[in-house]
Amino acid sequence: MKTLFNTRIKENLANIVTILGLLVAIWFLVIVINNPEQLWSIFLLAGLVALTDFIDGRIARKFNISTYFGSILDRIRDRVFIYPALIILTWHYHWKLTNLPFITNTFTKALIIVVLGMELLASIAGCIGIIWYISGTKIDLNPSKWGKKKMFCGFTVVLIWFLSLTIEKYLGFPLIKFSIFVIDLGLVLMIYWAYRSLEEYSKRRKGEPETEKQN
């Protein structure tokens, strides 16, 4: 019985880490909405969510326990964290952006709108793909390498942004004036990789081979 229990734990270890990350992501959202001034705690929670994203994939590959269910959990955790965080950053901390030059401020907000729009398209495409899959259409619903890069970039953008706000509040150094360029670059890359991801899924629907072999 003990051996069976240990085997079950090992088989689901990656999913357990992902679920923990999802719970931390929800905790993160609750705190950032209700207590947006607790930047140090918010940044630590954001870091924990990112850490679960780093760990679960490596556990799955090390023990060869990757599953489609785990892939779905991973995507849910990422989306529950990244996109609400971008909206909250623009809403709760709008005054930080207004301290930047008008062009930079407007450009950053425009990028966030485009990122959210691309994610809406990706979500719609994902729902259509699931419907096709259920109806018997052969389609690969596993995440593309472009989608993984997009999410990695999203984690990076959110962490750098909250880190900049935390350093400015507790150390008084206006890091956002410099990090905003890295943030904007990350948002641009998210848009590009979102486009490539949509393109990839379109090719899968048509039965075409992937443009690049996945790692």
pLDDT digits (tens, 9 = 90+) for 121-139: 888 877 777 777 677 766 6
Q: Please answer whether residues 13 and 59 qualify as being in contact, where contact means their C-beta atoms are separated by less than 8 angstroms.
A: yes
Q: Give CA–CA dist 153/157, Å, rounded.
A: 6
Q: Which one is predicted more confidently, 135 or 204?
A: 135
Beta strand spans in the chain (E): none
pLDDT for the residue 66: 77
Q: Give CA–CA dist 211/199, Å, rounded.
A: 10
SS3 66: coil
pLDDT digits (tens, 9 = 90+) for 16-69: 999 999 999 999 999 999 998 899 999 999 999 999 999 988 888 888 877 778
Q: Per mean pLDDT, which range of 4-13, 35-44, 177-186 is the poorest? A: 4-13
Burial of residue 82, with CB atoms counted within 10 A of its CB: 0-12 exposed, 13-18 middle, 19 or more buried: buried
pLDDT for the residue 63: 80
Q: Per the domain annotation, does 38 fall within a domain?
A: yes
Banded pLDDT at 11 (limits 50, 70, 90):
low
User: Residue 98 pLDDT > 50, yes or no?
Assistant: yes
Banded pLDDT at 214 (limits 50, 70, 90):
very low
b/e 11-22 (16+ beta carbons within 10 angstroms → b):
ebbbbebbbbbb
Which tokens hold the place of 82? 């990244």
Q: Give CA–CA dist 147/106, Å, rounded.
A: 26
Q: Per the domain annotation, does 213 fall within a domain?
A: no
Residue 6 CA neighbour count, 13 Å, CB half? 3
Q: Per the domain annotation, does 12 fall within a domain?
A: yes
The CATH number linked to 10 is 1.20.120
pLDDT for the residue 180: 94
Q: Give CA–CA dist 30/42, Å, rounded.
A: 10
Q: Per the domain annotation, does 210 fall within a domain?
A: no
User: Residue 170 pLDDT > 60, yes or no?
Assistant: yes
Q: Which one is predicted more confidently, 162 or 97?
A: 162
Count of domains forming the chain: 1
pLDDT digits (tens, 9 = 90+) for 140-150: 667 788 888 99
Range of the domain at 101: 2-205
